[in-house]
Amino acid sequence: MQYLDFEKPLVELEDQIAELRKLGAEGADFSNEIDKLERRAQKLQREIFHELTPWQKVLLCRHPMRPYTLDYVERLFPDFLELHGDRGFADDAAIVGGLATFDGRSVLVVGHQKGRTTKENVRRNFAMPQPEGYRKARRLMEMAARFGLPILTFVDTPGAYPGIEAEERGQAAAIAESLESMARLPVPIVTTIIGEGGSGGALALAVANRVLMLEHSTYSVISPEGCASILWKDQGQVETAATQLRLTAQDLHRFGIIDAVLEEPAGGAHRDLDAAARAVGEAIRGFLEVLSPMTPEALRRDRYERFRRMGDFDVVDRNADRNAGRNAEERNKK
């Protein structure tokens, strides 16, 4: 297990517990001491993870042991059949997709995929898709629509790859075409943000009827590092940027950007992959039950209206405000 800096007090307790268990295996009885330390560790864990700052949540959503798309696929879609290629240039390993069954029903699963090792991360380009990755995803989603299959997407990317070669092959167009395609698909689409949701690279798989987020995931137009670089030209401002971006699941649910926040196991999803997968599966199951009876036109309209509601606000008549202010000043003078 790898730990983040803010977890260090918890790590010390867990190390003590592990040492006592090791000694207990040799014949000594430390059960009472272990019970006390476990209760202290559980209490400390609740305190730490109940008060995480936005920047700490950014670090947690990037945790190297956090479950990725294929970890959820393994637990929720055991008969997953991966499909490859965009039929135009290449197969992009930063996005995985394929057919599977969920509760006995055929579905399409598409998601970003990071690597556990340096070699695998290089192969998957650190989950930053090239244009062919988005074209592959679009091809698979349009195939699912032809067969009337619900689409389940999993988002976990710092953003689309910004390299020159990606721009030369039409990165912006590939993302835009994915957005357009998802907006008009006549089947239910449920998106789950399981880690980082970065910029258009995330949105390209998230034009859905329902968008869910694990509680320690993030979703934003830009990374805190990028925001700090642009606004303050100072990487020391990343914590401020993370706070100002309102990128946490709790903020986004309050703003109506996402539809549900999924509780993670104590200490984060990486502490119990099976429990995290069960929570995701139950949420997807519930939303599919609501969406499946809807007609194709109703699904498209539902998706359209969902995104039209974002950023809705009451227009303030500033002239009326100014006039009211002047009238109040005049009354005060009198």
Closest CA to 41 of 63, 62, 20, 27: 20
pLDDT at 318: 47
| Domain match, 19 and 141 both | no
Shared-domain flag, residues 23 and 110? no
* Domain of residue 254, residue span: 59-308
Q: Do 294 and 214 sit in the same domain of this protein?
A: yes
Same domain for 34 and 79, yes or no, is no
User: Would you say residue 323 lies in a domain?
Assistant: no
Whether residue 25 is found in the same domain as residue 150: no
CATH number of the domain within which 197 lies: 3.90.226.10
pLDDT of residue 35: 77
Q: Virtual CA dihedral for 300, 304, 307, 312, nearest 10 degrees?
A: -150
Helices then strands, counting H and E runs in the chain, come out as: 15, 8
Mean pLDDT over each residue of the chain, to the nearest integer: 88
pLDDT-derived band at 210 (thresholds 50, 70, 90) equals very high
79 and 35, same domain (yes or no)? no
**84 contacts 136 by C-beta, under 8 angstroms:** yes
What is the tens place of the pLDDT at every residue in 160-196?
999 999 999 999 999 999 999 999 999 999 999 999 9
Rounded Cα distance, 126 and 193, in Å? 16
Which tens digits make up the pLDDT trace of 283-310? 999 999 999 999 999 999 999 999 998 8
Domain boundary among 14, 33, 51: 51
Rounded to 5 degrees, what are φ and ψ at 96? -110, 145
Neighbours of 307 (CB within 10 A): 13
**Quick check: is 213 in a domain?**
yes
Q: Is residue 97 domain-shared with residue 22, that is, in the same domain? A: no
Please indicate, yes or no, whether residues 16 and 113 belong to a single structural domain of this protein.
Answer: no
pLDDT digits (tens, 9 = 90+) for 128-168: 999 999 999 999 999 999 999 999 999 999 999 999 999 99
Find the angle CA(190)-CA(192)-CA(197) to the nearest 5 degrees: 125
Look at residue 328 and tell me if it is in a domain: no
Q: Is residue 182 one of the residues assigned to a domain?
A: yes
Nearest to 55 by CA among 279, 307, 246: 246
**Total domains present in the chain:** 2
325 part of a folded domain: no
pLDDT of residue 313: 64
| 106 vs 16, higher pLDDT | 106
pLDDT at 319 > cutoff 70? no
Q: How confident is the model at residue 32 (pLDDT cuts 50, 70, 90)?
A: confident
**Whole-angstrom distance, CA of residue 248 vs CA of residue 213:** 9
Q: What is the pLDDT of residue 332?
A: 52
| The pLDDT value given to residue 22 | 73
The answer to whether residues 236 and 256 belong to one domain is: yes
pTM of the model: 0.86
- Of 166, 24, 29, 148, the residue nearest 94 (C-alpha): 166
Residue 82: pLDDT over 80: yes
Q: Are 277 and 137 contained in the same domain?
A: yes
Structural domain includes residue 332: no
pLDDT digits (tens, 9 = 90+) for 241-286: 999 999 999 999 999 999 999 999 888 899 899 999 999 999 999 9
* pLDDT above 90: percentage of residues in the chain: 72
* Tokens representing residue 181 in the block: 């395609």
Q: Which helix (H) or strand (E) holds 76?
A: helix 69-76
Please check the confidence at residue 209 and state whether its pLDDT lies above 70.
yes
Same domain, 20 and 133: no
**Which whole number is the average pLDDT over 225-232?**
93
Greater pLDDT, 321 or 90: 90
User: Residues 26, 93: one domain?
Assistant: no
Residue 323 has pLDDT above 60, yes or no: no
| Cβ-contact 223, 237 below 8 angstroms | no
Is 329 within a domain?
no
